[in-house]
Amino acid sequence: MTDHINRDVILEQHVRLFRGAMGAEFLFMDDNARPHRANIVDECLQSEDITRMDWPAYSPDLNPIEHVWDMLGRRIAARQPPPTCLPELRRVDC
């Protein structure tokens, strides 16, 4: 992903609308990847009055979604037989 795609697709089409639905309590969290920290992204967040959560540069252990992905991956991998294609994966009941 590039900084422009992040701004144009993720922030402007999704995050901005979600922030509007959540109101003033909204706090935005990203993973500090370079496309997330570009100047155009910072400018977009500031112009939309979106507050970004501050956290260490590399800290996947602090990111709650990383724990969800890990658990989901383990459950899928433990299935016998494991899914081998996308339609099978969609039918998995975790």
48-85 confidence digits (pLDDT tens): 999 998 877 667 777 778 888 899 889 888 888 888 88
User: 53 with 68, same domain?
Assistant: no
CA distances from 55 to 14, 60, 63 (A): 22, 10, 10
Q: What is the average pLDDT value for the chain, to the nearest integer?
A: 87
Domain that holds residue 78: 63-93
Tokens coding 65:
């979604």
CA distance 72 to 16: 28
User: 15 with 48, same domain?
Assistant: yes
Percent of the chain clearing pLDDT 90 (strictly above): 38
State residue 12's pLDDT score: 92
User: 50 with 69, same domain?
Assistant: no
What are residue 70's DSSP bridge partners? none
User: 39 with 84, same domain?
Assistant: no
Per mean pLDDT, which range of 35-44, 55-64, 85-94 is the poorest? 55-64
User: 49 with 73, same domain?
Assistant: no
